[in-house]
Structure 1
Amino acid sequence: MSADSRPFWEKPLSSLTRSEWERLCDGCGRCCLIKLEDEDSGEIHHTSVACRLLDHRSCRCSHYEGRKSLVPDCMRLTLAKLAKIRWLPPSCSYRLRFEDKPLPPWHHLLTGDPDSVHKVGISVRGRVEASEQEVEIDDLPRFIRRWPKSWPKRGR
């Protein structure tokens, strides 16, 4: 099979168009959870508290196009940033492709079903305990959870 005939998600990330890059997202919403960094160790801890713009049902940003003006520290994921980011979950499509690994079998580009990420329990649907607007910064450590950094058993 020639490189040109491969599906876009199997091609190098550097060759993707903006549209292809956007479609690669699996819609899990894990990157939209608030993360805390241990000042001493540098370890990243994920919480079950979501960005105020995350739609808890769809697990997508409710104001994606204007998110940077509403949430200034929201990060636009780029290929250059992928090399530096340590907090993307192991199931993240961008992370997997950056590591030259295939998409998981539940990914919507393979199944044709945008709900497959929810059906296998990868997404944050039903797992968000609060929005960032509902939790004081000092209370965030009470919401630290391990699941955002791991593969659910059904999702492997």
Structure 2
Amino acid sequence: MAATEPFWRTKSLEAMTRPEWESLCDGCGRCCLHKLRDDDTGELAFTNVACRLLDSATAQCRNYAKRQRFVPDCLQLTPELVREIDWLPPTCAYRLLAEGRDLPSWHPLISGRAETVFEAAVSVAHRIVPERDAGSLETHVVPWPGRWPKQAGPLPKKRIRR
């Protein structure tokens, strides 16, 4: 009997169930870091300053279910939004799948372990400054949230859709 392909290889982002969609998030916290955009050039810069709800030790939202009540500009990702925004980190499963790539080996849906996100240097845990302590965001611009970590292995290749 042939093994069935996992849902992320057989379903479009739009066809996924809510639990499938939510399971794509690896919990790295990179999307919860403040970003700056230059008004003149449109250039995007990542910072190491975290949203006030992000736990700096675990990189998990302290109140995910009610986050928009406390942080009104926190976005609920949708397939449409994933395809139009340019600030999702290169390690983001939503972005990877929207680009036609597979999930990397360290993703919890592949590895079976949440710890592999930290082991691959993808998690922001213990690398961030809490929003309340940051001061000026411009002094916290860092390149790493917008880069693919070396420890994460190669960027997954694009898949050929049949």
TM-score category, normalised to shorter length: over 0.9
Corresponding residue of 1:147: 144
Runs of 4+ in 1 over 3 A off after TM superposition: none
Deviations 1:68-118 (A, max 9, x none): 000000011111101211011111100000111000111100110011000
Superposed displacement of residue 6, structure 1: 2.1
TM-score calculated relative to the size of structure 1? 0.92
- 2:15 aligned with 1:15: yes
Deviations 1:105-149 (A, max 9, x none): 111001100110001111101210x2112223xx11110000000
Corresponding residue of 1:106: 106
Distance 1:84 1:60 in 2: 25
Corresponding residue of 2:53: 53
Corresponding residue of 2:158: none
Distance 1:53 1:107 in 2: 23
Superposed displacement of residue 56, structure 1: 1.5
The AA in structure 1 aligned to 2:5 is R
Deviations 1:24-55 (A, max 9, x none): 10111000001111011111111000000001
Distance 1:127 1:155 in 2: 16
Corresponding residue of 1:34: 34
Corresponding residue of 1:70: 70
Distance 2:53 2:98 in 1: 26
| 1:141 partner SS | helix
| 1:22 partner SS | helix
Superposed displacement of residue 58, structure 1: 1.9
* 1:78-93 to 2 correspondences below 5 Å: 78-93=78-93
Structure 1 gaps, min length 5: none
The AA in structure 2 aligned to 1:112 is G
Corresponding residue of 2:156: none
Structure 2 gaps, min length 5: 154-162
| 2:84 partner SS | coil
TM-score calculated relative to the size of structure 2? 0.89
The AA in structure 2 aligned to 1:145 is V
Identity of aligned residues (%): 47
| 1:26 partner SS | coil
